[in-house]
Structure 1
Amino acid sequence: MWGTRRVKAVLVEPGKLSAALFTRKLDSLITPDRVRIYPRIFLAASLLGLTISSLVRVMDPTVQGAFLPDYLAHWSGGGLLLLGDSTDLYDPEIQHEFQKNALGTEVDFSWFVSPPFVAAFYAPLALLPYGLSGLVWLILSASLIVCTTLSLKSLAPGLILRKRSLVVIAVLASPVVFEILGSGQDSAFILAAWLAGIRLLISRHSFWAGAVLGLGLAKPQLVVLVPLVLLATRNYRALAAFVAVCALLMGISLGIVGGEGLYQWVATLSGPLYLDHVQQGQAWKMVGLPSLVQALLPPAWGSVLAPVLTTSALPVGAGILLLWLHRLRGQLVEAQAIWIATLATTATFSPHLATYDAVLFIPIILYLLQRRPSPLIRVASTAAFILLWMVPVLHLAAAPLPWPLAVIDAPWSAIPLALIWFESLKALQPNRTESLASSKVNRNSAQPRPVKPVPKIEGQPEAGR
């Protein structure tokens, strides 16, 4: 047996050793000086670009589209509700006509496809003229991003306490934040809901945790794994609250648009126009693993397999996560690690994860840098940062090229992000040093080691409590 192990080690180790050496070589380029200087350069450049782009769009919306184009879609949904046009809320022609009338000029169409209750959330902001409303939203989004970054102290206390200013600058300099602020997206709200929910779960406020996580239904694809993990960890109070909030929000939607309106919303998300305009038309903005697979396929194959990837990606990710948790059955697993892995799995396998939604990886990266610092984490995080900034450049370069040359436009950032996801699964393993110490104590103890029939999750209430 010893000889067999040695032969296997000889066959496997060279490959692992080469990958480790290559990773360490890249990691040596990530020096403290570069970590301090380059985020500041990116931040200054992004602020300048955001300011110029916003001014150009405000002065002449026909040049590059409306100021905060994605916010225009949400503002339009709220405005149509105020006009009483809820039955035609998802009609593209009615939405586009409303946008042209509101801005007084021809603009690129921004399609509102969020759940109906989201339109009710934006209705108060739709009372303001679009320019003023967009400015208010921009300030709210920037403030929320800063607050959520500072709230990461519970996940990465050492990093936030020792290098708070550097962390804040690095987050603000990231391409995901630039996309959120530049487009007017609401991904910062989803991030805040996730962080607040995790914090409440750790402090054993299960009911409120489930309720807060339920608010993430504004983007269903980004919270769909929450009830599965709550069920797997036997947190029935949080699960009940999550289901109750989701039911309440869908009830509000039903009251706003009725059964026919809900049917129109579902039909919109599964219709050919959405597939062409969003899933394929904006595929260059997607950074999830399913989007990478689709981008590498020939166009004819990609159009056929797109529905398959859309429907099967998250179930595959959920299966991997649940199997991984099952392997750890009976071990002491940290609740933070479980929910960071859940968040990472959701983001990695989401069929609709645009650049701005990749903001969900920020707490994952900071948690791993705090708990499992390694050359791989540092290199993967840096690679994702650079590749996400290169998305528009690669898109422009690939525009005139035929397949397979056009694959340079593929979301290559999905590769380092997938590595980060895999590291989040490995972080579920109990600390080896603590396990050895625990074993030593048990061997020296006169009391027999208790056998737990179910996994104990640190920071999680027991079933039935």
Structure 2
Amino acid sequence: MVGKPRDAEPGRRTGLLRRVVPRIDAVITPQRLRIYPVLLIIAGAVGLIAGSLARTIDPGTQGAFLPDYLAHWTGGRLLLDGADNLYDPAVQSELQGRELRAEVPLAWFVSLPVVAALYAPLALIPYNLSGILWFVLNAALLWWCFLGLRFLAPRLFQNRRTTVLLCALAAPPTFEALGSGQDSAFVLAVWLIGIRLFTHGYPGWAGAVLGQGFTKPQLVLVIPLVLLAARSYKALAAFIVSVGAVAAASLALVGVDGIRQWTAALASPLYMTEVQEGQAWKMTGLPSLLQSLLPPEWGQAVAPVLTLISLPIGAAVLLTVLLRHGATADTATVLIATLATSLTFSPHLATYDAVLFVPVAVYLLDRWPHPGLRVAVVLAFVLMWLVAPLHLAAGMSPWLSALDAPWSALPLAAIWVASLRALRSELPARRPR
């Protein structure tokens, strides 16, 4: 029998994708993209309200209302009381139990000290009232960001404005950001404003705004490398100054010893166990997917390595494509690819921060709509909605443990690949200045 050529199997897989993707894409109709998001928004809103009421009434059993906001509120409160033990989990736990009058799981504040200062005014208010105020502000900022997507996708907004807004509101990261009380909307606003300033010819201001995203360092560390490769020196200088201001403010607030406590908290076994490993199922980045598929006993050794090498690997791929093919890409395309790379290879990208994929998907769908991209977006959407059910199913049997992996990382990575392909598209030359 004559053996098959070596490339026969890859060709068969490619052919299978070419048959399956159009069939899935045929199901993604405009009518379904309006009906299903509405149903999900209603169901999500009911669940969010019911869960929030239950947590407010009985935090001892249900957990804290807006648990991630509780961490930020705690940081602000401790900073007002004195920053000596800002990152001590025991001190934070004692404060949270006293404020909520119940023993609740620790919501550990591990952000930069300057973040605690930003939340300090809200920490002057009793927690539950402060949480309600933060929820309103957070929801308003998210809505403003979604409306601001118009400049990235003018054609989509002209023809499918309601559909785009419904899908963005129904996205799992939107509910996760609101329900947990996370500040992902702030970083989303930073990226959107920065991209818009770049496209309007203000690279210095854009770099300064993007530098404020250093409050979540893992989401902006690729930016200076791209600005350097693009020879956007004005933006790079402004970015460095802006990041320096954030770092200097943190240093002024807690001193050198406080900065050491912060870095020690991030490198501690408790952080690796409780956050990087314990919450891997809630992540959406490729490093988290890889970590979740490895044997548990490898966790302590693998997690720090992935944290160190994941972003450099993603940045290297992006810079290679940019330097070889990006000469024809406009500013927005370069920055969208930078954002997608930062998200895909982030060592810590929980579901709430995946809301930053919304502008990436909207931008690409507006300019390069094709079945593969549409299917990847819908698959990511569905898989993120299934995170909680799959996590519960995985807990029923060791044989189902693979269900606990963050599989949404795969379609999100496909969206990242689409952003790299966009850099090779022939567009009017318009690079950052």
TM-score w.r.t. structure 1 length? 0.89
1:39-438 aligned within 5 A? 39-84=37-82, 86-328=83-325, 331-402=327-398, 405-431=400-426
1:401-424 deviations in whole A, cap 9, x for unaligned? 32x631110000001001000011
Aligned mates of 2:377, 2:167 — CA distance in 1: 11
Contact 1:203 1:459 in 2 (8 A): no
Q: CA deviation at 1:184?
A: 0.0
Contact 2:328 2:423 in 1 (8 A): no
Gaps of 5+ in 1: 1-6, 435-455
Aligned mates of 1:244, 1:169 — CA distance in 2: 38
What is the total number of aligned residue pairs between the two structures? 429
Runs of 4+ in 1 over 2 A off after TM superposition: 7-18, 301-304
Q: CA deviation at 1:236?
A: 0.9
Q: Which amino acid aligns with 1:219?
A: K
Q: CA deviation at 1:430?
A: 2.6
Q: Which residue of structure 2 lines up, in the alignment, with residue 451 of structure 1? A: none
Contact 2:64 2:104 in 1 (8 A): yes
Over 3 Å counting, the alpha-carbon distance change for 1:91 and 1:418 in structure 2 is same
Secondary structure of residue in 2 paired with 1:360: helix
Aligned mates of 1:281, 1:293 — CA distance in 2: 14
Aligned mates of 2:10, 2:390 — CA distance in 1: 35
Q: Which amino acid aligns with 2:409?
A: A
Q: Which residue of structure 2 lines up, in the alignment, with residue 30 of structure 1? A: 28
Q: CA deviation at 1:54?
A: 0.5
Q: CA deviation at 1:17?
A: 2.8
Q: Which residue of structure 2 lines up, in the alignment, with residue 443 of structure 1? A: none
Contact 2:153 2:363 in 1 (8 A): yes
Secondary structure of residue in 1 paired with 2:31: helix
Moved more, 348-357 or 247-256: 247-256
Moved more, 161-170 or 256-265: 161-170
1:257-279 deviations in whole A, cap 9, x for unaligned? 11000011011101111101111
Aligned mates of 1:171, 1:63 — CA distance in 2: 32
1:21-41 deviations in whole A, cap 9, x for unaligned? 110011111122211100000
Over 3 Å counting, the alpha-carbon distance change for 1:74 and 1:10 in structure 2 is closer
Is 1:460 the counterpart of 2:432? The answer is: yes
Q: Which residue of structure 2 lines up, in the alignment, with residue 440 of structure 1? A: none
Q: Which amino acid aligns with 1:460?
A: P
Secondary structure of residue in 2 paired with 1:373: coil
Aligned mates of 2:217, 2:192 — CA distance in 1: 16
Over 3 Å counting, the alpha-carbon distance change for 1:97 and 1:380 in structure 2 is same
Q: CA deviation at 1:129?
A: 1.1
Aligned mates of 2:180, 2:8 — CA distance in 1: 52
Over 3 Å counting, the alpha-carbon distance change for 1:327 and 1:62 in structure 2 is same
Aligned mates of 1:309, 1:276 — CA distance in 2: 14
1:344-363 deviations in whole A, cap 9, x for unaligned? 00000001000001011000
Contact 1:204 1:459 in 2 (8 A): no
1:322-379 deviations in whole A, cap 9, x for unaligned? 00111126x3221111111000000000010000010110001001110110111111
The sequence identity of aligned pairs, in percent, is 53
TM-score w.r.t. structure 2 length? 0.96
Q: Which residue of structure 2 lines up, in the alignment, with residue 438 of structure 1? A: none
Contact 1:149 1:168 in 2 (8 A): yes
1:444-455 aligned within 5 A? none
Aligned mates of 2:8, 2:274 — CA distance in 1: 52
Over 3 Å counting, the alpha-carbon distance change for 1:9 and 1:127 in structure 2 is same
Over 3 Å counting, the alpha-carbon distance change for 1:407 and 1:8 in structure 2 is closer
Aligned mates of 2:101, 2:13 — CA distance in 1: 62
Q: CA deviation at 1:203?
A: 1.1
RMSD in angstroms over aligned alpha carbons? 1.6
Aligned mates of 1:95, 1:22 — CA distance in 2: 51
Secondary structure of residue in 2 paired with 1:124: helix
Contact 2:213 2:220 in 1 (8 A): yes
Q: Which amino acid aligns with 1:381?
A: V
Contact 2:377 2:412 in 1 (8 A): yes
Contact 1:333 1:429 in 2 (8 A): yes
Secondary structure of residue in 2 paired with 1:427: helix
Aligned mates of 1:207, 1:232 — CA distance in 2: 16
Q: CA deviation at 1:60?
A: 0.8
Q: Which amino acid aligns with 1:417?
A: L
Q: CA deviation at 1:100?
A: 1.1
Q: CA deviation at 1:304?
A: 2.2
Aligned mates of 1:315, 1:175 — CA distance in 2: 28
